[in-house]
Amino acid sequence: MAYDAHFRVWRGDVEGGGLVDFTVPVNEGEVVLDVLHRIQATQAGDLAVRWNCKAGKCGSCSAEINGRPRLLCMTRMNLFAESDVVTLTPLRAFPVIRDLVTNVSFNYEKAKQLPAFAPKPREADGTYRMAQVDVERGQEFRKCIECFLCQNVCHVIRDHEANKEVFAGPRFFIRYAELDMHPLDTNDRKRMAQEQAGLGMCNITKCCTEVCPEGIHITDNAIIPMKERVVDTKYDPLVWLGNKIFRRNGIERPSAEG
């Protein structure tokens, strides 16, 4: 089933650029990244693209394929008809460096701002004991491969440059949620997510969930429950009263780092 495919790849840098046409052979079972590598090896040695594992595990090769954010290594060529034009463009939410490579440092800066994991002390026998069912809630979010596709499609980030200052984005909301559900963490992640990461600015359009290559239920399992819990603890007068009378797990100790 080998055939010649028509690729259009955005080439350029911060100064500007445009789509360049390539005709390139495709073999059975290949993914878009294979075809890009063939272009590199035979037609454009300096075509810039990030990649590492080529197995959907590292999240390096994020780009937009026919306008849809995807991993280049997990997009099979049989998704397209032989006559289709396959158009590849860089992630739109981040500044381009060159060709398909963008500057994703926004995400690494946000990671630095996230208060560190702060575990409670070990049990008397020196162990930490946690039930499987309790670690599984957090494990869903720790599947994240940091491809930043969710960040790329998030309207709050994509459409308003100024928001980047105060808004961490879905990748970090699942990190807050994971820590909030972590059986050992002692910080008040709900308040942090609201006050430091801009959780309130998310208007739950679920675009992030739709593009997640790991199938993480970002909106339903992380963002919405976090928002609900923030509301619970911040505004609910009964909770407020309860906090005055009993000490509620997770908020009895304001964070030192926060």
Partner 1 sequence: MADMERHSYDVVVIGAGGAGLRAAIEAHAQGARTAIVCKSLLGKAHTVMAEGGIAAAMGNVWSEDNWRVHFRDTMRGGKMLNNWRMAQLHAQEAPDRVWELEEWGALFDRTKDGLISQRDFGGHRYARLAHVGDRTGLEMIRTLQQHAVSLGIDVFMECTITRLLKGGNQISGAFGYWRESGRFICFTAPAVILATGGIGKSYKVTSNSWEYTGDGHALALHAGAALLNMEFVQFHPTGMVWPLSVKGLLVTESVRGDGGVLRNSEGKRFMFDYIPAFFAKETADNEAEADRWYDDKAGNRRPPELLPRDEVARAINSEVKAGRGSPHGGVFLDIASRRSAEYIRKRLPSMYHQFKELADVDITAEPMEIGPTCHYVMGGVEVDPDTEMSGVQGLYAAGEVAGGMHGANRLGGNSLSDLLVFGRRAGLAAAQYATKLGTDRPSVADHDVVTASRAALAPFEEEGGENPYTVQMELQETMNSLVGIIRTADEMTQALAKITELKERIRHLTVEGHRQYNPGWHLALDISNMLRVSECVARAALERQESRGGHTRDDFPTAEPEWGKVNVVLREVDDEITVSRQPLLVIPADLAELLAEQPEEKKS
Which residues contact partner 1 by CB under 8 A? 13, 27-31, 34, 40-42, 44-60, 74, 76, 97-99, 101, 103-104, 108, 111-112, 116-117, 119, 127-132, 135, 138-139, 142-146, 179, 182, 184-185
CA 101 vs. chain centroid, Å, equals 16
Minimum Å gap between C-beta 103 and partner 1 is 8
Would you say 131 or 245 has its CB closer to partner 1? 131
Would you say 115 or 239 has its CB closer to partner 1? 115
Would you say 110 or 229 has its CB closer to partner 1? 110
Minimum Å gap between C-beta 219 and partner 1 is 21
| 219's tokens | 């909106």
Minimum Å gap between C-beta 235 and partner 1 is 30
Would you say 54 or 155 has its CB closer to partner 1? 54
Minimum Å gap between C-beta 227 and partner 1 is 23
Q: What is the DSSP letter of 11?
A: E
Minimum Å gap between C-beta 233 and partner 1 is 23
CA distance 132 to 224: 23
DSSP, residue by residue, 146-203: ---HHHHH-HHHHH-GGGGGT---HHHHHHHHHHHH-TTB-S-HHHHHHHHS-GGG--
Would you say 74 or 231 has its CB closer to partner 1? 74
Q: What are residue 248's DSSP bridge partners? A: none
CA distance 5 to 27: 10
Question: What's the 3-state SS for 218-237?
Answer: HHHHHHHHHHHHHHHHHHCH
CA distance 176 to 154: 17
Backbone angles phi, psi at 212, to 5 degrees: -65, 115
Would you say 211 or 227 has its CB closer to partner 1? 211
- SS3 (DSSP) at 7: strand
Would you say 186 or 233 has its CB closer to partner 1? 186
Q: Which residue reads 């089933």 in tokens?
A: 1
Minimum Å gap between C-beta 95 and partner 1 is 11
Q: At what angle do helices 237-245 and 224-235 cross, to 10 degrees?
A: 70
Question: What's the 3-state SS for 47-93?
Answer: CCCCCCCCCCCCCCCEEEECCEEEEHHHCEHHHCCCCCEEEEECCCC
Minimum Å gap between C-beta 117 and partner 1 is 4
